[in-house]
Amino acid sequence: PSVLDSFALLSGQLNTLNKVLKHEKTPLLRNQVIIPLVLSPDRDEEIMRQTEGRVPVFSHEVVPDHLRTKPDPEVEEQEKQLITDAARISPDVAQKQIQSLNKMCSNLLEKISKEERESESGGLRQNKQTFNPADTNALVAAVAFGKGLSNRRPPGSGGSVQSGQPGAGAIIAGASGLQQVPMSGAPAQQQPMLAGVQMAQAGQPGKK
C-alpha cells in the first residue's frame, strides 16, 4: 500500500507538471536562463555532442565564458568610447563620411567586377580556336604524303638533262642561280631533276 500511494502521488505530480508545461501561458524553457547547479572537471560526452565538440567539460573555467550575458570589460569600454566618439560628430560630417565610404566601396566593387570581366574575357580568348583543323590536316597530308598535289609540271619550270652532253656540269653548278631551260635534242623520256642527274654522274665509274 505504501508503494502504491507513493506511485499515485508521483503520477499526479507528473500530470500536473505536464499540464503546466503544455499551457499556452507557460513560456518556452529554451528562452529561460540556465543556472549551473553541478560543475564537473570530467569530460562529458553529452555536452560534447550538443556543442559539436567545442565544449568538452562543464567546469568553473568555461561556465563564466559560455553563460555570460555581457561582454568583457575591455570590450565594453571600447564600445562606450566608440559611442562617445560617434556622438561628437555632427550630422553633416557624418553624412559626408558616409558618402565617402559609399564612394570608396562603389569604386572597389567596380574594380573587382572589371577584373572579373577581364579574366573571363581572357579565358574566352585563350579557349577560342584560332585555326581550322581541316585545313591543318590537309596541309600536313600534302607535305608528308603529297595528298592532293598535281603530278603535272608547269611549262618552263624544269627540263630533262642528258648526262652525256657537254656543259651539263655547268648547268648543274649554276642551277641555284639560273633558270632551268629544256635543252634541244633531249630524248623523249624525261630524266630526273638536276639533283638526280648530279647524283647519277657522281655514281658512274670511270669518270673523273
Chunked mean pLDDT (size 10), the chain, 208 residues: 92 92 81 76 87 86 80 89 89 91 94 88 68 84 82 58 45 44 45 44 48
Separation between Cα atoms, residue 22 and residue 33, nearest integer Å = 19
> What is the predicted pLDDT for the residue at 153?
64
Q: Tell me the per-residue pLDDT of 102-139, one tens digit each, with 9 for 90 and over.
A: 999 999 999 999 998 888 877 666 666 667 788 888 88
Per-residue buried b or exposed e for 98-136, using 16+ beta carbons within 10 Å of the residue's own CB: eeeeeeeeeeeeeeeeeeeeeeeeeeeeeeeeeeeeeee
